[in-house]
Chain A
Amino acid sequence: MRARMKRTNGKVCLRPFDFAQGVLSKIEGRRGVTLMELVIAMAMITIIFAAVLPQFALIRNSWDIKQGTAEALQNGRVLMDHINRNLSKAKQITAVAASSINFNDCNGVTFQYDVNSVNNYVEYGLTSDRADLAGPVNSLTFTCYDACDLDDPNTDVSKIRTVRVESTVTNTGLGQDKTFAAWAYLRTNGSSQTALTKGTTFEFDTSNGQYPALSQIDSTHYLCAYMGPGSDGFANVLTVNLGTWTISKSMLTALEFDTSDGQYPALSQIDSTHYLCAYRGPDNDGFAIVLTVNPGTWAVSKATLLPLEYDTSNGLYPVLSQIDSTHYLCAYTGTGNNGFAIVLTVDPGTWAVTKATLLPLEYDASNSLYPALSQIDSTHYLCAYTGSGSDGFAIVLTVDLGTWAVTKATLTALEFDTADGTYPALAQIDSTHYLCAYTGTGNDGFAIVLTVNPGTWAVSKATLLPFEYDTSNGLYPALSQIHSSGFLCSYQGPSSRAWAVVLNVDSAGWTISAETPLEFDSALAWPALAQIDAGNYLCVYAGQGSDGWAALFCTLRP
C-alpha cells in the first residue's frame, strides 16, 4: 500500500471518478481480479492451448513418423546390403524355404538367414548359432532362379544362381512399413554343374599316333607314349601352356623307345622323372621299360637299354596300376586272347624291370580283351574286360604283398553286360563303387556302376540296366573324374568323330545321366585323358590320318 500511496501522491491527483485512475486500476490488476476476469482469462488460455496443443501433437507425430521411417529405411538398407553381399559371395544355396535360406560361403561353411519367430528380427549366422541382424520385419521372402531363367522360380539348390529377396521392415514409429526388394546373383559357382567346351588342338605326331597313353608329370607337362610310324613305340612330353592354353611338344622328334614294335602302350608314374611303360612289342609279346624324363629339357630317354619281355607268348592291351613305389600290377591279353595279370618290379637303382613272380595269373581262361584296372586298396584291384562272347566282365584281383602273386578274389567274374561289352574304362566313385564306360550293343556308348563287396570282393551291378549315353556310337571310351559324381568321358561317337560327354552318377540310386555331348574333332580312336586342374583336361587320341592329336577340354561353368 505504501507504494500505491507514494505513486498516488506523487503523480496522480486522487479523484474518485478520475478516468485515468480507473483504467490504470483495471489494467494493472493490482487490486485483484474479478471472477469474471478470471473466467475470461482462463477461457482465453484454454482456447489458446486448445488451438496450440494439437499442433504440438502434430509436430510430435511428424517427428515420430520421420524417425520411424528413417529407422525402417536404415534397417532395410542394412538388411538388403548384408543379404546381397553374402549371397553374391556364396558358393551354393543349400536349402531354401519361404522365409529362410541356407548357403555355403566361399570356404564351404553353411550360413543361414531366417526370421526369429519371437521378435520378428531377421537372424543371420551359422545354422546352429544365429544372431539378430535387423528388424523387426513383417515378412522376408526368398525366391530362387537359375542362371538364365528369371521368370520361373527354381527350387533345385544345385541350379540356383539368382535369388530375389523381398522384406517388409516394420516401422516401429507411427509411419508406414517399408518394403525392400533386391536381386542377388551368386558370383561364385560352387555347384557341381559343368559345361563342356573345347580348347585348342595340337598334332603332336604328323605321321602316326595311335593308342596313346598319358601320364601327368606336373601341371604343365604330360608324358605321352604311343604307337608311331612303323608301328614302333614312341614317347614325347606334351607341354600345356597354362597362360595361353596352347599345347606343344618338348622334343621335335619323339623318343622311339622300341624300334621294332610298340603298340598299346600303358604308363604308370614311378617318380617325378621315371615312368613304367608296358606295351605290346615284337611278336605280339608283352614288354615293359622305364622311361626317363629330363626335368630341365623335358627330353625322354630309356632308363635301360633293353626292355623286359614279361610275356614271351603274347602281351596285348596291357594296363598298369601302381601297388607301391617299386611294384606294378600289369593286366593284359595273353596267350589265346586270355586274361593274364602279373606284378612287375622296378629296381630304383638300375631302373631295370623284372617279373615279381615267374608266372602270371590267368584270370580268364576263355577270353579277355582290352582290360582296365582300378585300384580298390593296396592289395585289391578291380579289373573290367571284354570276355567270352565279347561281353563285359569284371573281377577283383588280389595281390599278395609278400610273394607278389596275383590271385582272383572270387572264382567267377561278373558278366555286367551279357550282350556286348568292349573297350571298358574304369573310374573310381568311392571305395566300393566304380563307373565303367564301355562299348555295348550296336557299338553304342554304355555306362554302368559296379559295386565291390569289401568282405567277399564279389562284384555286382549297382543298377540292373546300364545307361546308354550315346545311342548312335560309343567306341573306345576313356574316363576322368571331374568331381565326386561327375566324370568326363571321351569316345568315338557318331560318324566316327571325336566326342566327349560328362556323365553324372547319382549316389542315391547309382543311376547315371549324361549332359549334352560335345563333338570336338572330325576323327578319334583310342583316346586317353589327363586332368590338368579342377576344370581343364588334356585328351590325346589318334585323330585325322591316324596321327597323334591332343586337345584341351574345359568343364568349367561360369
Chain B
Amino acid sequence: MHPQTISVRRFMRIRRRQNGSVFLIVVFAIVLMATITVGILQMTTEELMLMQNQLYAAQAMCTAEAGLNAAFAQIRTNPSWTAGYTDEPFNGGTYDVTVTGTPPNPTITSEGISSQGYKARVAADVNVGSNTPGHVIRIYKLRINE
C-alpha cells in the first residue's frame, strides 16, 4: 500500500469529522430557529386566542342583546307578552328569553349562546308604559353576566 494513499484516506476521515462539526452547527441553528419560530408562533397563537375569546364573548353578548331586543319588540306591541323564546336562532348562535314578574313591571332575562358555545346573559327590570301605540319600555335595572 502506497503511503500517500493512506494519507489521503486519513485526510478524508478527518474531513468527515469536519463535516460533523458543520452538522452540529446546522443542528444548533435549526434548533435555534425552531425555538424562535415556536416562541413567535406561541405568542401569535396566544394573541389569536385572546382575540377569539373576545370575539366569541362579544358574539354571545350580541346574541343575548338580540334576545332582549326581540322581547322588547314583542312587549311594545303586547305588554302582557310572557311567552319568551327557546333556542331562537340568531347569527349562528341561539338565545333563550324568559319573562318573569307581572305586567307592567316584568323582568326579562336573555341568555345568548354564540356559535362556538360561549354564553352571555342580560337581565332587565323594566316598566312598560301605558301609552299607545308602541308602549314605552323603561329599563330600571340592567344586569350583564350576573
Interface set of A (CB-CB < 8 Å, partner B):
11-13, 15, 18-21, 23-24, 27-28, 59, 62-63, 66-67, 69-70, 73-74, 77, 85, 88-89, 106-107, 187-190, 195, 197-200, 240, 242-245, 532-536, 552-554, 556-558
Is there contact, CB below 8 Å, between A27 and B14? yes
Chain A residues positioned under 8 Å from B105 (CB to CB): 533
Find the residue from B79, B130, B145 having the highest chain A CB count within 10 A.
B130
B138 to chain A, nearest CB (A): 4
Is there contact, CB below 8 Å, between B3 and A187? no
B54 to chain A, nearest CB (A): 6
Q: A28-B14, A188-B141, A245-B104 are in contact. Are A73 and B47 (CB under 8 A)?
A: yes
Chain B residues positioned under 8 Å from A59 (CB to CB): 36
B61 to chain A, nearest CB (A): 9
> Is B70's CB within 8 Å of the partner chain A?
no
A sample of 15 inter-chain contacts (CB < 8 A) reads: A12-B3, A12-B7, A19-B7, A20-B4, A70-B46, A85-B144, A106-B142, A188-B140, A188-B141, A242-B103, A245-B132, A554-B130, A554-B135, A556-B127, A556-B138
Chain A residues positioned under 8 Å from B10 (CB to CB): 11-12, 20, 24
Encoded as 1 (CB less than 8 Å from any A CB) or 0, chain B from 80 to 102 comes to 10000000000000000000001
Is there contact, CB below 8 Å, between A197 and B143? no
A93 to chain B, nearest CB (A): 15
A-B contacts counted at CB < 8 A amount to 134
> Is B24's CB within 8 Å of the partner chain A?
no
Is there contact, CB below 8 Å, between A88 and B40? no
Is there contact, CB below 8 Å, between B141 and A67? no
A176 to chain B, nearest CB (A): 15
Kindly state the separation between the CA atoms of A107 and B40 in the bound complex, as whole angstroms.
46
Chain B residues positioned under 8 Å from A245 (CB to CB): 79, 104, 128, 130, 132, 135
Is there contact, CB below 8 Å, between B7 and A557? no
A548 to chain B, nearest CB (A): 19
Among A13, A187, A242, contact of B104 (Cβ-Cβ < 8 Å):
A242
> Is B73's CB within 8 Å of the partner chain A?
no
A303 to chain B, nearest CB (A): 31
Kindly state the separation between the CA atoms of A172 and B86 in the bound complex, as whole angstroms.
46
Is there contact, CB below 8 Å, between B6 and A187? no
6 tightest A-B contacts by CB? A20-B7, A243-B80, A554-B129, A197-B131, A199-B130, A554-B131
- Residue of chain A at shortest CB distance from B139: A188
Chain A residues positioned under 8 Å from B144 (CB to CB): 85, 88-89
Q: A244-B79, A245-B104 given. 18 additional CB < 8 A pairs? A: A12-B10, A24-B7, A27-B14, A70-B47, A89-B143, A107-B141, A190-B140, A197-B131, A199-B130, A199-B131, A240-B130, A243-B80, A243-B104, A245-B135, A533-B105, A533-B127, A534-B127, A535-B138
